Structures are given as C-alpha cells and as structure tokens.
Structure 1
Amino acid sequence: MAGGDVDELRAATADAWRAVERMRSRLGELGDTGVLGILGERIAALLGEFAWEVGMVDPAAAPAGARLDHVGVVVRDLRAAATLYGDLLGGTLVCGGGHDGMGIRSLHFAYAGGSKVELLQPTRPGPVARFLESRGGGPHHLTFFTPDLSASIEGFAGAGLTVVDADRGAPEWQEAYLSPRETQGCLIQVVEGADIAPVSGITVDAVLRDEWEWRDHRPQRVMTEARR
C-alpha cells in the first residue's frame, strides 16, 4: 500500500474514532448502557485494532503532530544485521540501497504496527563511519514525518533548539536535523514528504551487490550493462 493511501487511512480512522467517542459520550450522558452502548464499545475496539495495523498507536491523537517513522541503526556487518532484523525478528525488507554522497549502504525493515528500522553500513570514511568507529555501532538517529516542516522548525526555534542542517530543495522531500548535543544525545531527522513506498523485488543480496542506490530520496535500480 502506498504511503499516501496509508496516510488517508490513518486520517479516516482518526475521524471515525472521534465520531465514535462523541457517540459514546452522548450515550453516557443519556445513561444508555444497552445495545447501543455495547455497540459503541465494540466499534471503538475494532477501530483500535485497525489503527494498530496502519501504524497508529493512539488514533485519538492522530494525525496531528509528528509521526515516528523509523530508527536508524549503524552496523558493521549488514548481512548479519539483516539476518537478525529480518529472519529472526520478523522484519520485512521494504527498501534499501547505496548512497555515495552519504557513504552508506542501507536496508529498511518494516514490522507489525507500522514501525521500521533502517540499518546503515558505512562504505567509506564519513560521519557514519566515524560513528561506527567511535561507538561501535548501534542506534544512530530517529526519523519523524511531520505535516508541516516550517511549523516544526519554528517550534524548535521557540524551544531554543538549533536546526543544524536542512534541505528544502525538493517539494516531495524536505528535511531538517537537530543535533544530538541539544536532543539528549540522539540525532533527530524531521521530514515533510511522502512515505517511501515498499520496493517490489528488492533483496538483501541485490543491495549488497550494489544493484540498488538512493536517488532523490527513493531507491532506484542500478542499470548495469548486463541489464541494458
């Protein structure tokens, strides 16, 4: 399912949740504990289950505010990490590829409830490689999606936080970063844009063979002479 479709489902679920809560509140005022009251409770329970499936922890609170999309984890051995996060922990590989500019190769795994983990392996000297050498790997960043990056940046400034890097060049993907020095030790990426849709046919082996790369914030198949 495309990211935009999921966002629409989340918004519709939030609207339905609020409508059911209004109905239950009104029934409570009327003292109705009969069939309608039971029906309201059942609908609320079903909406809660559906909300979990589309990645909403609290449907009453969505879709306002930022949404945690994934946790970035730096690893030394991408294949071994893929076995752990994929085969053993039940993650589904949804996208990945190399990024020459950042000096990394990455894999994104999705889990029940909508949570995701991005595994990052450095491919050359750079910030991620320095993180690996200094800390031995581990959690590197949190990525949040926000409906309004400008409003988020204004909020950060109002709280005394400094945006250390921002890219507003592409309307489909705008991002800003907050330094770990000001966020209790964790790099935070905030993005306004469409979710990255799962990529059909991608495999761990293909990513490790550098057959996929990140271009314009989307994984693209590398066209080698053998495929032309």
Structure 2
Amino acid sequence: MISRVDHIAVAIKDHDGAEQFFCGVLGARPGKRIGVGGRNFYWQSLVLGDLTRLELVSPMEGHSFLDGFLRNREGGFHHMTLQTPDLEAMIHRLEAHGIPYFGKNEYSGGVWKEVFIHPRDAFGVLIQIAEFRADDWMMPEAKMPDGTRWELEKTDGGADLVFAHPGGGKVRLEFTRGELRSLMETLQEALSDES
C-alpha cells in the first residue's frame, strides 16, 4: 500500500539559511522555492545524492500552519511523506484499522492527493500519505528525460549506467569493464532464452 518514503520535511524560520546549509555545506541540489499563498507558506525540494529528498517548509509573513510548530524553535523535523499508488485504498486500510486521518485534499487535475495522520496516532510522527507521480515534482536534472529508462556514460574504467527509478528520479551505478562484460553475458543469456 505504501510505495516508499518520498521526502522528509524540515520546518524552518530562516529559509535562506537552511538552503545555504543543506546545499552549500551538505551538497544538496535545490529545486525551485514555491509559495502557497492560500496557506501562507513556502516549500522547496532539495535532492541529496540520487534519490533522497528533503523538503524545506517556511512561513510567509503573517500566520501559517507552521506558527505553533516554530513558536519555540528555529526549526526541526516536521513530517514524513509516504507515497501510495492508490490513496482511496490507503484510506480504507486506515479506516479498517481504526486509524483516524485528517486534511484529505486533492489539488486540481489530480496531480496530488493527500491525507495526514496526527502524531498522537502515529507514535509522535506527523505522516502525510500522498498519491502522485514523483517525477512531476522533481527538478529536471534530478530525473530522466520522458520515455527514457536508462542511459550509459562511458568512463575511463568502464561506464556509468543511469536508470530511471520507479519512485522518481534516477540512480547511477558505476561498472568496471569486467562488470560490463559480465552484464553483457547475463543479458545475452536472458535473450537466448526467448521462445
């Protein structure tokens, strides 16, 4: 029912400072900062390595849902987002287990559907469960071009194979020449077994 952990959200007061820390110090790649005026907050995805994502959330001026969380701290872990292929089936599962949820929402066009589980019902963790296509929310350099499932980049010692990851984004694997030969043999064996 849950495909994967999509991202961990960190709520902060100082968005610029947090972006500088995660990108400038730890090497994350920043996505675009997006303002959600109706809810009075900014969010921004950061990619670490090939597949790990953080989301920075910060309040705009005025009141936002982050006010209580940030009242006595500069920032901290806010929520975990879990991806599901079928939100309605996941809701039925929660109901069958007596787990309350709140904040059911679907954005126009169905690009993002979500519900939340309160920390009191999830061992102290705010959980967002969402149905979406991960690649729709990723910066272009963090994902494969549409329709491309793999790419090969020749290196001095062999090649890097880059694959589209089913959870969005891409994963890079380094292969030596010997490993490439072994892979080719395995692929040839697989093709020779065709009927």
**Pairwise same-fold verdict (TM > 0.5):** yes
| Pick aligned residue for 2:33 from 85, 92, 96 | 96
Matched, 1:174 2:107: no
The list of structure 1 runs, each at least 4 consecutive aligned residues, that deviate by more than 6 angstroms after superposition, is: none
Cα deviation code 1:12-53 (max 9, x no counterpart)? xxxxxxxxxxxxxxxxxxxxxxxxxxxxxxxxxxxxxxxxxx
Q: In 2, distance between residues paired with 1:75 and 1:110?
A: 17
Structure 2 partner of 1:150:
88
Q: CA deviation at 1:172?
A: 2.2
8 Å contact kept, 1:103–1:128:
no
Number of the residue aligned with 2:11: 74
2:67 pairs with 1:129: yes
Change (3 A) 1:72 1:163: same
Q: C-alpha displacement at 1:106, in angstroms?
A: 2.3
Determine which structure has the larger strand proportion and give its number: 2
- CA RMSD of superposed structures (Å): 1.8
Please give the TM-score of this superposition, normalised by the length of structure 1: 0.56
Give the share of equivalent positions with the same residue, in percent. Answer: 27
Structure 2 vs 1, CA of residues 109 and 169 (structure 1 numbering), >3 Å: closer, same or farther? closer
- The answer to whether the Cα contact below 8 Å between 1:94 and 1:199 also exists between their aligned partners in 2 is no
Summarize the Cα distance change of 1:136–1:94 in structure 2 as closer, same or farther, 3 Å threshold: closer
Q: 5+ unaligned residues in a row in structure 2: which ranges?
A: 142-195
Q: Is the contact between residue 77 and residue 121 of structure 1 (CA under 8 Å) also seen in structure 2? A: yes
8 Å CA contact 2:9, 2:54 repeated in 1 = yes
Looking at secondary structure, tell me which structure has more helix per residue: 1
Normalised by the size of structure 2, how large is the TM-score?
A: 0.64
